[in-house]
Amino acid sequence: MVLQESGEMYLETIYVLSKTKAHVHSVDVGDYMGYSKPSVSRAVGILRKGGFLTMEPDGSLCLTEAGTEVAERIYERHTILSEMLISLGVGRETAVLDACKIEHDISDESFEALKRHAKERGEGKSES
């Protein structure tokens, strides 16, 4: 299953929330993203069907191995791209927003080149 940008965003959000919360629920995702309960419910259903997440009996959302891979990849892109833009003098808020737009469309080849460049300059602090 190929994920659309919105699916990647949901997985990244669940990943980010799981770093600070023991249990992530749909309501947490909706609050964080500013989306309605029906929108989150629909997305969760699609992601469950695609094998990217599971739902525990208490309603908490858990990323599968496939979901974690996607979420970590997008999060890494977001983090490195944000840091690079900030290092170029872009304001933090703008850098984060722009990184969010770029992270879904940039090719693996281009991102890896940017990541190497950032590492050489001591800018990229990737968690990978």
The per-residue pLDDT for 9 is 93
Q: 62 by DSSP, 3-state: which? A: strand
Q: How far apart are CA 122 and CA 75, in angstroms?
A: 19
Q: Which CATH architecture has domain 5-68?
A: Orthogonal Bundle (1.10)
The per-residue pLDDT for 123 is 60
The reported pTM is 0.85
Q: Mean pLDDT over all residues of the chain?
A: 91
Query: What are the E-state strand segments in 1-128?
Result: 53-55, 61-63
In the chain, what are the domain boundaries? 5-68, 76-121
The per-residue pLDDT for 126 is 45
Q: How far apart are CA 126 and CA 83, in angstroms?
A: 10
Q: Which CATH architecture has domain 76-121?
A: Orthogonal Bundle (1.10)
